C-alpha cells in the first residue's frame, strides 16, 4: 500500500477529516504564538514574568487550542502585539476586539525591554 493510498484510507473514516483540520488548527496556533515570542526575542520565562504566570503555563498556552481570549490578549500584548478579532460576513468586516492605543503599545514595549534585561 502506498502512502497516498494509506492517507486516503485513513481520511475516508467518519470524522477523520474534521479531526485532521482540528489538529492543523492547533499546530497553527502553537507555531504562531511561538514565532511571535521568538521574534520579540523573549523566552517562555520572560513572557511568564510579563503576564504573571509560570513558565510551564506559557508552554501550555503555546500548545493549547483551548485558550481564552483574555489569556491570548495578555500573551500577544506581552510579545509586543495587538490582538484583533474580526468577523467577516460577505463584504462586511466587524471588529469584535480592536487595536489598543499607542500608549498601551509603548507600555508593552517597555515591559519587553525590562523582561529581557532581568
In which residue are the cell numbers 503555546 written? 62
Give the pLDDT band (50/70/90) at residue 27. Answer: low
Question: What residues contact 50, with CB distance under 8 A and at least 6 apart?
Answer: 42, 78, 111, 112, 115
Q: Where are the domains of the chain?
A: 3-117
Please say if the pLDDT value at position 28 is more than 60.
yes
Task: Choose the most confident range, by mean pLDDT, from 16-20, 100-104, 112-116.
Answer: 16-20
Give the model confidence (pLDDT) of 74-109 as tens digits.
999 999 999 998 889 999 888 888 754 444 455 555
Question: Which of residues 112 and 39 earns the better pLDDT score?
Answer: 39
Neighbours of 84 (CB within 10 A): 13
Give the model confidence (pLDDT) of 37-80 as tens digits.
999 999 999 999 999 999 999 999 998 878 889 999 999 999 99
Handedness of CA 33, 36, 87, 101 (dihedral sign): positive
Residues in the chain: 118
DSSP class per residue in 54-118: -HHHHHHHHT-S---HHHHHHHHHHTT----EEEEETTEEEEEE-PPPHHHHHHHHHHHHHHHH-
Please give the CATH number for the structural domain made up of 3-117: 1.10.260.40
As a whole number of angstroms, the distance between CA 96 and CA 2 comes to: 46
Amino acid at each position: 500500500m502506498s502512502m497516498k493510498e494509506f492517507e486516503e484510507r485513513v481520511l475516508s473514516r467518519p470524522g477523520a477529516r474534521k479531526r485532521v483540520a482540528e489538529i492543523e488548527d492547533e499546530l497553527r496556533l502553537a507555531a504562531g504564538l511561538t514565532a511571535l515570542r521568538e521574534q520579540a526575542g523573549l523566552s517562555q520565562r520572560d513572557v511568564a514574568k510579563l503576564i504573571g504566570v509560570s513558565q510551564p503555563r506559557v508552554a501550555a498556552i503555546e500548545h493549547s487550542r483551548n485558550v481564552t481570549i483574555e489569556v491570548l490578549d495578555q500573551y500577544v500584548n506581552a510579545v509586543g502585539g495587538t490582538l484583533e478579532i474580526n468577523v467577516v460576513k460577505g463584504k462586511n468586516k466587524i471588529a469584535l476586539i480592536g487595536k489598543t492605543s499607542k500608549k498601551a503599545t509603548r507600555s508593552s514595549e517597555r515591559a519587553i525591554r525590562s523582561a529581557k534585561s532581568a
